[in-house]
Amino acid sequence: MGAPYATPDDLREALVEGGTIFQTAVDGVYHRSWDWERVLRGVEGHVMAQAVVEGAPRRWFPPIMPREEFLKTDYVRSFPDLVGSIDVFTGGDKEHRALLAVLEDGGDWTAHLTPAEVVLPSSVCHPLYGNLPTDVPADGLDEECSGWSFRHEPSLDPARMQIFRIYEYVKVGTPEQSLAHRDEWLERGLAALQQLGLPVRSEAANDPFFGRVGKMLAVNQLDSQLKYEMVVDLTDVKPTAIGSSNYHEDHFGETFGLHLADGSPAHSACIGFGLDRIALALFATHGTDVDAWPAEVKAHLALA
């Protein structure tokens, strides 16, 4: 079976013509229609319905997070090109006049700003780790979180939005608990997405580490099979990842001081369901008229 669209341009144009998304002056920044939003919320509900740990804490993160916690994730080292840092103005009248003079001359008025105590999160679980108990219990920690990720990679491919939502199931515990979480959730995630009529499959994957050193890190990640993506063919150009299941080893345990009972750093794993990407896949697969989608798909999304 071929992909529903030949190219990302074809897909984007169909969505814009169908009134599903609105393009803006900046590539990768879209306004969403109510259809998009209600489908996305339906996807979130369907993802939440897959939960297996009763009573696990659930957090919805705002689109900003503490700078200090973000720096602990080491994202600036591995993915500097994707980071979004926030600047604010802290001066008085005099400094404001100076700023406005530069702005009126067409200069860089942002040189008059200073770094805020917040940044944009690059991944949805980043704001979580700094808020967990540092003594990890024997069964590990099970957490759910939902929020926005900013990644600065302007593109006209509708699958590459600059800011998008992810729902994550996170496990912090032993290496065995973390690996089991990643693998069991990969199977569970594929099944949940197949229920939505998406012909999804898993692929070993790597993150887009930056620069020359990053190339080696990416190869290492792929060789060690730390990351699997859930992919679907929306265009003939390349598969689109609509989720991923990741084993972080002790990366977050080490940097956020999360310890197992023996004092060693906890390991962790997460599965991320790309809510905007899954919505995109649903519109690409089932068309822009939501009412005409298969009844079974609408039932899973709680769409009347």
Calpha distance 283→178 (Å, rounded):
33
Least distance to its own copies from the beta carbon of 209, Å?
A: 11
- Contact yes or no for 230/204 (Cβ under 8 A): no
Please count the CA atoms within 13 angstroms of the CA of 224 that sit on its side-chain side: 15
Rg of the chain on CA atoms, in Å:
21
Task: CB nearer to its own copies: give 116 or 303.
Answer: 116
Task: CB nearer to its own copies: give 207 or 233.
Answer: 207
- Choices 105-113, 168-176, 192-200, 226-234 (CB under 8 A): range interacting with its own copies: 105-113
Least distance to its own copies from the beta carbon of 57, Å?
A: 9
113 binds its own copies (CB under 8 A): yes
- Choices 111-119, 229-237, 253-261, 295-303 (CB under 8 A): range interacting with its own copies: 111-119
Q: Among residues 13, 14, 109, 179, which is the contact residue for its own copies, using CB under 8 A?
A: 109
83 binds its own copies (CB under 8 A): yes
Residue 303 to residues 37, 121, 204: CA-CA distances in angstroms? 11, 30, 33
Q: Among residues 49, 52, 87, 137, which is the contact residue for its own copies, using CB under 8 A?
A: 87
Q: Among residues 7, 22, 289, 296, which is the contact residue for its own copies, using CB under 8 A?
A: 22
287 binds its own copies (CB under 8 A): no
Which amino acid is located at 86 in the chain? I
256-278 burial: b if 16+ Cβ within 10 Å, else e: bebebeeeebbbbbbbbbbbbbb
- Contact yes or no for 70/84 (Cβ under 8 A): no
Output the CA angle 156-219-170, nearest 5 degrees: 75
162 binds its own copies (CB under 8 A): yes
Calpha distance 7→272 (Å, rounded):
25
Give residues 199-258 in contact with its own copies (rule: CB under 8 A): 210-212
Output the six-digit token pair for 199. Answer: 């012909």
118 binds its own copies (CB under 8 A): yes
Task: CB nearer to its own copies: give 71 or 299.
Answer: 71
């590990």: which residue's tokens? 140
| Nearest in space to 137 (alpha carbons), one of 48, 225, 53 | 53
Least distance to its own copies from the beta carbon of 34, Å?
A: 5
Give residues 44-73 in contact with its own copies (rule: CB under 8 A): 58-66, 68-69, 71
Least distance to its own copies from the beta carbon of 300, Å?
A: 18
* Collapsed DSSP state (helix, strand, coil) of residue 231: strand
Which amino acid is located at 41 in the chain? R
H or E element that contains 213: helix 211-223
Site residues (vs its own copies, CB under 8 A):
22, 24-26, 29-34, 36-37, 41, 58-66, 68-69, 71, 76-77, 80-81, 83-93, 96, 99-100, 103, 108-110, 113, 115-118, 120, 127, 130-131, 145, 148, 150, 152, 154, 161-164, 210-212
